[in-house]
């Protein structure tokens, strides 16, 4: 068996029944994987590179990951929290340093690191135009780290942003946790949440990651089951 260890925040984390229908990207990703791939999801709500390391979550991965495994590293949303010193990192300073620590954990255990840029939030203005992103500098920082540490990167941010720009405000609501009356079992009706994903959204963005991995070539492409991603450059209807 091959193993993917996933380090990240709430956009990737596993959800329990109480947060239905919220679904993390890493929670759904095995739907795209080859039969011999197992995912160990270490993503946790609210974590940045800094807090993930400070809470010894990276140390736990170090203890468990082994030769030939993969470490997917997906951060940015919470590194942006300027008013929270326990989480904030400078996108071109500490953020890059911290990403290097994740890379070192993987390579010290002869595993393969992969960077995944943040999924975009669905924030549209009154004219229906997607607003400028708060993620931009962290996406650039991750790409700087990718070059510095020679790590492949799947640019989920760009793919997700292009998709949101194409389908627009109303059509994109089905993928995010904007809940209509009667749509959730436990979450408040009408809750506004433009960051976290429903199952449809997790599957959508997992497909983009699968596409990115396939385009990286071996050995990353072999993680993905044959033909198991959608061409998101075309208009689609994803029903979950």
For the chain, 240 residues long, the average pLDDT of each consecutive 10-residue run is 97 91 96 97 97 98 98 98 97 98 98 98 95 97 98 98 95 83 51 86 95 96 81 50
**Residue 238 pLDDT:** 47
**Residue 231 pLDDT:** 60
2-223 adopts what CATH topology? Rossmann fold (3.40.50)
- Cα torsion 208, 195, 167, 190: sign: positive
Candidates 42, 77, 135, 196; catalytic one: 196
Residues facing 4 on adjacent strands: 39, 70
H or E, element range at 137: helix 136-149
Is residue 196 among the annotated active site residues? yes
Residues facing 5 on adjacent strands: 40, 71
**Residue 38 pLDDT:** 98
**Residue 240 pLDDT:** 37
Q: How far apart are CA 155 and CA 115, in angstroms?
A: 8
**Residue 198 pLDDT:** 93
Rounded to two decimals, what is the model's pTM?
0.91
Give one word for 128, left, alpha or beta, with left for phi > 0 and alpha for psi -120 to 50: left
Residues facing 2 on adjacent strands: 37
Paired tokens of 165: 């720009």
Candidates 92, 189, 215, 233; catalytic one: 189
Candidates 10, 51, 172, 214; catalytic one: 10
Q: How far apart are CA 240 and CA 234, in angstroms?
A: 17
**Residue 226 pLDDT:** 83
Is residue 92 among the annotated active site residues? no
Paired tokens of 62: 């170090």
Q: How far apart are CA 52 and CA 68, in angstroms?
A: 23
Is residue 189 among the annotated active site residues? yes
């Amino acid at each position: 068996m091959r193993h993917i260890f996933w380090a990240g925040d709430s956009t990737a984390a596993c959800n329990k029944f109480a947060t239905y229908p919220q679904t993390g990207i890493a929670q759904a990703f095995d739907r795209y994987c080859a039969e011999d791939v197992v995912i160990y999801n270490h993503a946790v709500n609210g974590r940045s590179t800094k807090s993930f390391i400070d809470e010894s979550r990276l140390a736990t991965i170090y203890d468990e990951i082994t030769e030939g495994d993969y470490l997917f590293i997906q951060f940015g949303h919470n590194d942006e929290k300027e008013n929270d010193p326990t989480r904030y990192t400078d996108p071109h300073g500490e953020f890059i340093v911290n990403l290097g620590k994740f890379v070192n954990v993987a390579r010290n255990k002869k595993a393969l690191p992969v960077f995944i840029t943040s999924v975009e939030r669905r924030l549209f203005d009154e004219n229906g135009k997607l607003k400028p992103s708060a993620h931009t500098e962290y996406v650039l920082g991750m790409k700087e780290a990718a070059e510095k540490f020679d790590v492949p990167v799947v640019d989920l941010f760009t793919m997700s942003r292009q998709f949101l720009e194409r389908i627009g405000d109303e059509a994109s609501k089905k993928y995010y946790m904007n809940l209509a009356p009667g749509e959730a079992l436990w979450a408040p009706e009408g809750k506004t949440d433009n960051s976290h994903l429903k199952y449809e959204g997790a599957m959508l963005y997992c497909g983009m990651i699968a596409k990115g991995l396939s385009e990286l070539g071996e050995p990353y492409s072999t993680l993905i089951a044959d033909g198991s991603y959608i061409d998101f450059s075309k208009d689609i209807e994803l029903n979950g």
